[in-house]
Amino acid sequence: MDPTYWHKQAADKALFEDLIWSKPENRRSAGKLLIIGGNAHGVTAPAFAFQAASKAGIGTARVLLPDAIAKTIGKSFAEGEFAFSTPSGSFAKTAINQVLENSEWADAMLLSGDFGHNSETAILLEQIADKYQGQLTMTQDSLDYFIRDIGKLTHRDNTLIVSSLGRLQKMTRSGMPSLIIQHSMSLHALVGLLNSWSRESKARILTYHNGNFIYADGGQVSTTPKESAEGWEVPLAAYAATWWLQHPTRSFEAVTTAVWDYSKN
């Protein structure tokens, strides 16, 4: 018998259908999402995040990129804004004011990845996690900057971690050694572990294992089957951020429904 905190969502039927019917139909009421990511050598993650958020039904999305690529992109990307970058083309720590100014426009923020590895970017991302108080969804290499100090995320309100199991394993190994994540563990065992983690942590966790997306939030866990999930992190993070900002008081139901919405495509 499965525990009562485990909610199994079928691939062809959403658990929380009322959220589907209440989804905003007018773009003006569908929310504003600020997407941050990219560096001089790659902008795939923020571009994919923007596309996915549009498919998920966001009202308006704005993408903040390092200004080192401004000349390359030019005016071809109308939704793009630019912030200070380092000489190597990553986000500079001095971009924090530009980030916070843009965040005042937005209902939520998504750190989409492709940040590269830069000490100034590390400072910037830590400042974002500390100074920005709104809904923050993080995925791909934005999480790498917190592997050695996961507490900055697990103790933060309004945080969603969208991570591969391997990255999640690294994060817990460094910051939460009592939670042992293994690739060989059963779905039932991982559900139980994430239940425990999400009861002790403020952060929400979304990952993939054994043909299922697994979402843990405040001690509740949902699973949604998906046979193949290659390249899922960035687009699903965008879906999750979109659904969550549209239903801010029902995060468990919203992100679970976002997984269903993404999985059916």
Per-residue pLDDT, averaged over 252-264, amounts to 96
Which range is least confidently modeled, 101-110, 143-152, 171-180? 171-180
**Residue 176: which pLDDT band, with cuts at 50, 70 and 90?**
low
Question: What per-residue confidence (pLDDT) applies to 225?
Answer: 96
pLDDT tens digits, 75-99: 666 678 899 999 999 999 999 999 9
Q: Which residue, chain included where needed, has tokens 């997306």?
A: 213
In CATH terms, 11-179+227-251 corresponds, of 3.30.420.130, 3.90.1150.10, 3.40.50.300, 3.40.1190.20, to 3.40.1190.20
For residue 34, the model assigns a pLDDT of 98
Residue 229 scores a pLDDT above 70: yes
- Choose the weakest-confidence range: 70-84, 104-118, 189-203: 70-84
According to the model, what pLDDT value does residue 25 have? 77
The string of DSSP letters for 140-193 reads GGGTGGGTT-THHHHTSSSEEEE--HHHHHHHHHHH-TTS---TTS-HHHHHHH
pLDDT above 90 covers a percentage of the chain that reads 75
* Rounded distance between C-alpha atoms, residue 202 and residue 251, angstroms: 12
The mean per-residue pLDDT over the stretch 157-165 comes to 96
Mean pLDDT computed over 51-59: 96
Q: What's the pLDDT score for residue 195?
A: 94
The answer, as to whether pTM is greater than 0.75, is yes
Confidence of residue 171 (pLDDT cuts 50, 70, 90): confident
Section 37-50 average pLDDT: 93
Provide CB contacts within 8 A for 121, sequence distance 6+: 39, 86, 90, 91, 92, 93, 115, 145
B/e letters for 151-181, b = 16+ CB within 10 Å, e = fewer, are ebbbebebbbbbbbbebbbbbbeebbeebeb
